[in-house]
Structure 1
Amino acid sequence: MGVFRVLYIDMNSFFASVEQQLDPRLRGRPVAITAVDAHSGACVAASYEAKAYGVRTGTRVQDARRLCPHIIFLSSRHRLYVRFNLAVADVLDRHAELTHIRSVDEFQLALSGPARELDGAAELVARLKRAVASEVGACLRFSAGIGPNHLLAKIAGKHEKPNGFRWLSPDNLPGAIAHLALDDLPGISRAMKDRLYRAGVYDVETLCRLDPRHARLIWRSVEGERFVRLLQGMDIPLLPSLRGGFGNSKVLAPEFRAPRQAYRVGRWLVETATARLRREGFVATRFSLSIGFPEGGGWSRAMSCASSQDTALFLRLHRALWRVLWRAGPPATVAIVSVHLGNVGRLEERAGDLFAPLAPADRTRGEQVAVAVDHINHRFGPGAITYGITAPHPGFFERG
């Protein structure tokens, strides 16, 4: 039986490639997708023609224009990219076993039969490339990686771009990835790299040879042991993720950076996050607000509350935290606003309150009102009813 179990697919310059597929005039030309509009902010994607000039994800528009004077800027169209994501997923699933859509431009598939061997996997990848090109669009290319587990397949898939194919297994490790920096590996943040340095682990080759039990101590979690065992080629399945909270974050366009406007964007983020909280049947007992400043640095505070999914309650906490920020010294401008509903649990598991009175798993009056608002907004469109003045923010950068 072959060693390879997972195929990881990473679409190349996906957003820009979608735009080039839809508009033949853009093909072969440098294209950048911007977060908000074509005149400000940063690039969220760039075609390979633009990358040849040094334009990358995160490059500011003015810098991209300086690097490549003839570059074409397009505002992001996230719903369009999601439609293409689903079209690619449909093709992949008809030719192989699609197990995870990892992001808007990344997919994970299970290998079986002849594809568990290198030659069979290479044949499958070539077939998938042809199918995506013919059924979705010739401009849509991807890099593919195979491995005995999802981590090694992902590292391999990001190893050769564009349109590449690589494999990783115990047969070519750690040499095949020894040239990578520690934080080139998925899941190794700057903080984790610093922690590895303090433990005497300075390169990927040393990390690959680390005793997994030592890794558990460095990570201060079993995740460290899992990570190193995956690097060493063990087949450890993905664990089902537990919902830790509901959050939204926005990188603000220039016209939203005044504190008053940023506050209203925050209110809008609270409304969208609490609507998702209710839709998935959760309640939260902690609210966090984070503010990022254009010059760098930031501010963050959190407040605890009774278990709730009431939008009005979390808007009051949002207002209270802004008041704390204001007393500390009002900012001149705000670059990023983030809200987070944490310490979540299922509504049906919430205990009752004898003094309210509130039966277990029942909604409060405020929560019932919020559910009614959800129904109206679902029928008549987002924002048909809001909780006061908000500032819906256009653009791509939204998490949650």
Structure 2
Amino acid sequence: MTLRKILHIDMDAFFASVEQRDNVALRGKPVVVGGRPEQRGAVAAASYEARRYGIHSAMPSRTAALRCKDLMFVRPRFEVYRQVSGQIRAIFREYTDLVEPVSLDEAYLDVTTNKLEIRSAIEIAHRIKRRIYSQTQLTASAGVSINKFLAKMASDLDKPDGLSLIPPDQAQAFVSDLPIAKFHGIGKVTAGKMHELGIQSGQDLLRWSEANLVAQFGKVGHYYYRIARADDQRAVNPNRIRRSIGAERSFLTDLTEPEQMVRELDAIATLLQQRLAENQRSGTTLTLKIKYASYQQITRSRTLSEPLDDIEAIRQLAHELLRTHLDPEQSVRLLGLTVSNLSSAQNGPQQLSLQL
């Protein structure tokens, strides 16, 4: 069987790096792209200088401001980010048409067979990184491996401006040695549950049967079973359909007060609106997701006649759904918001392709 050659290209602190590139006064400074604290905003991106203070995307802007007194807030310019992203994707397609964008700043590429007939996937990654910097003055990190999961993990190994390879003969050892909290697709709350079950690393996960993982984690247990064996058969899909756009947060400490939940929901709504703007999308259906400390999960939706593309409209409807459907007797471990029945700025509701 021919092994695939998969790249994961991830722009380094993309939004913040674009702002620092275009504004000399921001270079070398802790910068956050997103809403200001007084606007109950959330961090869409943080520069590496800001990350040294523990600031990260999806964090409430109010929290970020408390961590760094010199933090500089910049409003997002999604038109500029989309234009730069278009440049980068054009570079990808010089090498392969099998490009699966994940967002404006990252994508998977299958270069097993490529347009320039370059045998080395490492060489292709080097060339792409050089071309990106030459055209945009921005750096990217690249991961190279035999499947999407491993390529994604590799791209995180040496950021920023890194390039890492996980070769096939080292794939199982890499996964076995990996702390479970580092696995792509395993969040903080799930990692915490795994720790309680004695799963600290990929080696521990490897000992679990598929049936037991499904019993503990539901259908996603099938995925955990496969990635513990460095097995990911997902193809790079250039025509992936995006049916919804969402944002959610898991809480290390369960929320017990409605006021806490409203504050967190406001930050999630801000992040959701930023993602809608980033993708030039709106939608008519808003879904609230609540996961209680008991692991009981509910989703409740409301469909409007007009598209949801304004932050206040999203917040107002989110608050209404929370007031109506929250069980006040239970504490909350996760909140999420999703917009579906997507449409573009020019068209009515439809199923839309991510391919640009």
TM-score relative to the length of structure 1: 0.58
Checking the alignment, whether the CA contact within 8 Å between 2:143 and 2:153 is kept in structure 1 is yes
Give, in angstroms, the shift of residue 8 of structure 1: 0.6
- For 2:20, give the aligned amino acid: Q
Give, in angstroms, the shift of residue 24 of structure 1: 3.2
Checking the alignment, whether the CA contact within 8 Å between 2:34 and 2:41 is kept in structure 1 is yes
- For 2:151, give the aligned amino acid: A
1:51 and 2:48 are equivalent in the alignment: no
2:231 is matched with which residue?
A: 234
1:72 and 2:66 are equivalent in the alignment: no
Checking the alignment, whether the CA contact within 8 Å between 1:288 and 1:300 is kept in structure 2 is no
Alpha-carbon distance change, 119 to 227 in structure 1, aligned in 2, over 3 angstroms: farther
Give, in angstroms, the shift of residue 154 of structure 1: 0.8
Give, in angstroms, the shift of residue 323 of structure 1: 10
In 1, Cα distance between the equivalents of 2:30 and 2:148?
Answer: 33
Give, in angstroms, the shift of residue 236 of structure 1: 0.8
Alpha-carbon distance change, 231 to 106 in structure 1, aligned in 2, over 3 angstroms: farther
Counterpart secondary structure, 1:171: helix
In 1, Cα distance between the equivalents of 2:100 and 2:206?
Answer: 26
- For 2:46, give the aligned amino acid: A
1:325 is matched with which residue?
A: 324
- Where in structure 1 are there 5+ consecutive unaligned residues? 252-256, 278-286, 293-298, 330-335, 343-373, 382-400
In 1, Cα distance between the equivalents of 2:242 and 2:113?
Answer: 37
Give, in angstroms, the shift of residue 194 of structure 1: 5.2
Q: Output aligned runs, 1:160-175, within 5 Å.
A: 160-175=158-173
- For 1:185, give the aligned amino acid: F
2:354 is matched with which residue?
A: none
In 2, Cα distance between the equivalents of 1:93 and 1:233?
Answer: 27
Give, in angstroms, the shift of residue 67 of structure 1: 4.6
The structure with more radius of gyration:
1
- For 2:166, give the aligned amino acid: L
Percent of residue pairs bearing the same amino acid type: 24
- For 1:17, give the aligned amino acid: S
1:311 is matched with which residue?
A: 305
- Post-superposition Cα deviations, 1:290-310, rounded to whole Å, max 9, x if no partner, equal 689xxxxxx977379xxxx87
Checking the alignment, whether the CA contact within 8 Å between 1:289 and 1:339 is kept in structure 2 is yes
2:111 is matched with which residue?
A: 111
Counterpart secondary structure, 1:95: coil
Give, in angstroms, the shift of residue 111 of structure 1: 2.1
Give, in angstroms, the shift of residue 124 of structure 1: 1.5
In 1, Cα distance between the equivalents of 2:282 and 2:101?
Answer: 23
Checking the alignment, whether the CA contact within 8 Å between 1:151 and 1:231 is kept in structure 2 is no
Q: Output aligned runs, 1:332-347, within 5 Å.
A: 338=337
Give, in angstroms, the shift of residue 108 of structure 1: 0.4
Query: Counting strand residues as a fraction of each chain, which structure ranks higher?
Result: 2
Counterpart secondary structure, 1:144: strand
In 1, Cα distance between the equivalents of 2:322 and 2:70?
Answer: 46
Checking the alignment, whether the CA contact within 8 Å between 1:170 and 1:233 is kept in structure 2 is no
Alpha-carbon distance change, 18 to 227 in structure 1, aligned in 2, over 3 angstroms: same
In 2, Cα distance between the equivalents of 1:125 and 1:239?
Answer: 16
Q: Output aligned runs, 1:259-298, within 5 Å.
A: 272-274=282-284, 288-289=287-288
Checking the alignment, whether the CA contact within 8 Å between 1:114 and 1:120 is kept in structure 2 is no
In 1, Cα distance between the equivalents of 2:18 and 2:186?
Answer: 30
Alpha-carbon distance change, 121 to 205 in structure 1, aligned in 2, over 3 angstroms: same
Checking the alignment, whether the CA contact within 8 Å between 2:158 and 2:164 is kept in structure 1 is yes
Checking the alignment, whether the CA contact within 8 Å between 1:4 and 1:146 is kept in structure 2 is no
1:283 is matched with which residue?
A: none
- For 2:162, give the aligned amino acid: G
TM-score relative to the length of structure 2: 0.64
- For 2:140, give the aligned amino acid: F
Query: What's the C-alpha RMSD, in Å, of the aligned pairs?
Result: 4.9
Q: 2:202 aligns with which of 201, 204, 209?
A: 204
Counterpart secondary structure, 1:172: helix
